[in-house]
Amino acid sequence: MEEYKKVLKKREKLCLIFAIILLPVVIATCYLFFVMDSVLTGSIIAGFFGGMLNGIRAGFGLAALIVLSMRAFQYHKAVKDDNKMKKYYIEEYDERTIALNQLSSKISFNIILYTLLVVCVITGFINSTISLTLLAVSAFIILCKAIIYTIYSKKI
């Protein structure tokens, strides 16, 4: 449990560091969204899409900031409370949860790869650039899997 305590402390620090880094970015995007938006826009369509993009950026930034702060607070509380820390440890290292994550990742990977390959073939008839890009992405995914598989086959 002492090792896990160290891990939680490290995570708390990382969350705080990322939150501090993110804070000026969020302030800047919010400023762009609320103040600069009307200045930057030339037409209604450009204004709409510009505003939408700024809104998405500000929203995601703000959400990430809130999640990071909450996580840091959770870890801080868990480090001080042994029962809470034990609960987090059990939830994190529960073998069924790990098995579920592995299974869902495996299935998602296969779905993504086969969809990419099918779309790659279909777009080949319409636009060769898109098709080649998708082919390159598929090849990269397959290459990554092959490399990781080789590394782990030597480890296990």
Partner 1 sequence: MKNNIKNNIKVLRKEHKLSQEELAMAVKTTRQTITSIEVGKYAASLPLAYKIAKYFGKTIEEVFDFSEMEDI
Residues contributing to the site for partner 1 (CB under 8 A): 89-91, 93-97, 99
Which of 96, 154 has the CB closer to partner 1?
96
DSSP state of 33: I
d(CA 55, CA 32): 9
From residue 23, alpha-carbon distances to 5, 50, 75 in Å are 27, 22, 20
Q: Which is nearer to partner 1, 31 or 93 (CB)?
A: 93
Distance in Å, CB of 90 to partner 1, minimum? 6
Smallest gap from Cβ 5 to partner 1, in A, equals 16
CB of 3 to partner 1, least distance (A): 14
Residue with smaller CB distance to partner 1, 63 or 94: 94
Distance (Å, rounded) from C-alpha 133 to C-alpha 116? 10
Burial class (CB in 10 A: 0-12, 13-18, 19+), 5: middle
Dist CA 145 CA 156 (whole Å)? 16
Comparing CB distances to partner 1, the nearer of 17 and 82 is 82
Q: Smallest distance, Å, CB 111 to partner 1?
A: 18
